[in-house]
Chains A and B, each alone.
Chain A
Amino acid sequence: MESIRGKAAIVGIGEVPTGIYPERSLIEAAVTAAEMAIRDANIPKEDVDTVIPILVVANNIDNANMICSQMVEELGLGRTAKANFLVGSGGSSSANALKVAMGLVTTGLSKAVLVIHSDRMGSGLDLALAIQQFASVAISPEYESPYGFSQLGLAGFLQQRYMYDTGTTERQIASVVETLRKWAALNPNAMMKTPRTADEVLESKVISSPVRKRMMNKLGDGAAAFIVTTAERAREYTDTPAYVLGVASRCTNFSVTQGQWDGFQLWKGAARDAYEMAGITVGDIDVAEIYDAFPTFILMSMELLGLCGPGEAGKFFEEGHAAPGGKLPISTNGAMMAQGHTGAGGGVAILVEAARQVMGKAGERQVEDANIVVETASGGIGMDFHVGVLGREV
């Protein structure tokens, strides 16, 4: 079968600031981000014939309303839209929605697909539901729940083993936070723009060993959108399409206990396949937009992507190579650690940032010659790993 390398492109992006916005409704944020994406793409809205809302975590009714075509009505697409359906795989919803959208446009089933995420994890959270979710979703009720594990413990598990295996220091892990705050300071949509030094991170108390309070993300409200169409149509709409050169993934487990405790060997295949599809080698990568939720996941991912040798990612951050002006900018929106955690939106924000860098629209944090940008996502409790490669040229 012919490769769909470069056959689809992201042509428009939109995003509202992440933060605590009690007055901003979920649908207002969604409509704002979608409108920005449509205008950014310079696309007649009638060409957007499929809408893919992303899983809403904070409120089940909002989620159901997005499933039931609320966005089609709000955007006035009812005369021309063919389909509206949810894509949900937690933090990797972005990558799965991109794949579905690519399939729809390259087969001619859709002209253009709008992927839209909006959630209110900061101010609209049903607290009882949230506590229940973090203590029970992706945790086995038969074999794990009795032991007091929650999703927050995942960061502890991974950091503990990662430090043991690689000798990475706590200070190096803290330097990831410092770096992401530097990026966030340049991102008008980020929630945590104030600088945070590695020392300040290390001063904070241990929550779930060895993870300290300032190594944890904060929940926020946010929305982001992107529009996918074919490469041919992309050139009609915009001068700055972000071509999708490669996508690949692995989906390996439900529970953390049965996760990838062999150094995530299977997940390396996702990077290998994505690079092969894109026809690139790791040396071609100009920017890496890496999904986080917490600092260790970025370090591990850098090694899975082949951007660093085993155990070298912490040093890479500590020496400033991932920061603004560094030799390989990492997670230039500040990722969830600094832009804020919007539920399933962390992956959407990272993908939108990857497209933004390729399009040359990243303002103060624009990386010069961002020709090849790699991006990642992961859902559940480390259930899968997705790698995407976007580029300025096919």
Chain B
Amino acid sequence: MPPDNKGLFVEGDRLMTICNACRYCEGYCAVFPAMERRTAFEPADLRYLANLCHNCAECYYACQYAPPHEFAINVPRNLAEIRVESYAHYAWPRAFGAAYRANGMLIFVLLTSAIAAALIGGMQIAPPARAADFYGIIPHEKMVGLFGAIAAFVAIALAIGVRRFWRESSGGPVGLAMLRSAAGDVLKLRYLGSGGAGCTYPDEHHSLARRRFHHLTFYGFALCFASTSVAAVYHSIFGWHAPYGYFSLPVVLGAAGGIGLLAGPAGLFWLKVRHDPRTGDPRQKGLDYAFISILFVTSLTGLLLLILRGSEWMPALLSVHLAAVAVMFLTLPYGKFVHGIYRSAALLRDAAERMQYKTN
């Protein structure tokens, strides 16, 4: 590991040693009980704990040893820093882990250049003979081929990353009960709830805003994904081709998801701007804003495309939307998106440990 990252793990070990002698925070989340199951904190343990942490910051505000106390305990910041290190550490191909450095700039450049190219290209294309005929612009096979290839690459990259995480945290076989427990934690965002009061985000007051905006984002994303999947079934199985009516299932799902994917990221952005800088890693703002922005742009162009699909703007909007979707998918394994993947894996690992602990 690079020398500057070594300091992160030295600090993580120091923090966990003090926390393990205190344990006042064990009621807040999964991190502290997982810490109590350990007596040593190697980088692999700390990466696991870091991905278990949801950065709710409760433990910072509750800590009698938080700076300026001489113990200077700041768990959320250290774990946030280790979290990003872990993304790069698990990344496949390894060299692409560098994408997490200056991630905001990278994604900004990719997105704007792709959109600009698509806009220029799309404006050259005349509207198709039939209104809203997307495949008159880009043939269905090409679209499926391109996005199929991207999806396959993303799936492989993420799967390898998760496998690396799982092996490093010495995870054993996965059982159904574990999966059910972890799925509940993920889908409900249990650890952004703090038992109903909400977490201390963006400041020391409890609020459910972050959980709600995250739900809008997550379920908006899921609805958009569902919309595309339904459309694929319509196309390939029933032979029903786009465009679909405004009250058809793909459009209703896509529109609802799109609205969630506008409101969610907008809310998260609004919270992020107000986030207490003490409880996060300020160097990760680019990473966070990049993902929030790309979701927002994808959703915005998708909704515009839906509204203006019969107009002469359609070819340009379609090109721009597809460019945004392509950049979003391609960068999924090298951007903030992976937080959901590794956090889910960590929650699964946590479920496994809890069950193992109970039977012992």
**Chain A partners chain B:** no
Task: List residues of chain B with CB under 8 Å of any chain A CB.
Answer: none
